[in-house]
Structure 1
Amino acid sequence: MCEFEVLLDGRKVFEEAVYLKREDGNLLAINILGQEKNLGEVTIEEVDVSSEKLVLTDDS
């Protein structure tokens, strides 16, 4: 299975993300343990499956 390291504006903000969903304009990430993190109003800039990296930028 592919778990992503989530980077926001160049810094790691979440690990082992397996699910992402936009809710009310915010991006919600859930990891393999079921832990959730609201990442706020962000844009997905890059999804790199081979290096398991998800790159976001802040929209606010």
Structure 2
Amino acid sequence: MSCDELWYERNKIYARNGYCFKTARARAEFGPGCFPPYGDLRGWERRRVNEIQMWESRNGCN
């Protein structure tokens, strides 16, 4: 996956969990979010975000 695809997949999980996005890019794509549980991830979603972040790091994504 490209850095953009990884970014989108990671933030889609946060958006589904009510994360309050601060960057213009994320707010344009997912809206402001901000509902409980405010981006607090558990279980498979936490593991998936960790995996995506590992790939972002390996690929030199920002």
Give the TM-score, by structure 1 length: 0.26
Q: More helix per residue: 1 or 2?
A: 2
Max Rg structure:
2
Q: More strand per residue: 1 or 2?
A: 1
Give the TM-score, by structure 2 length: 0.26
**Highest relative contact order (Cα 8 Å, sep 6+), 1 or 2?**
2
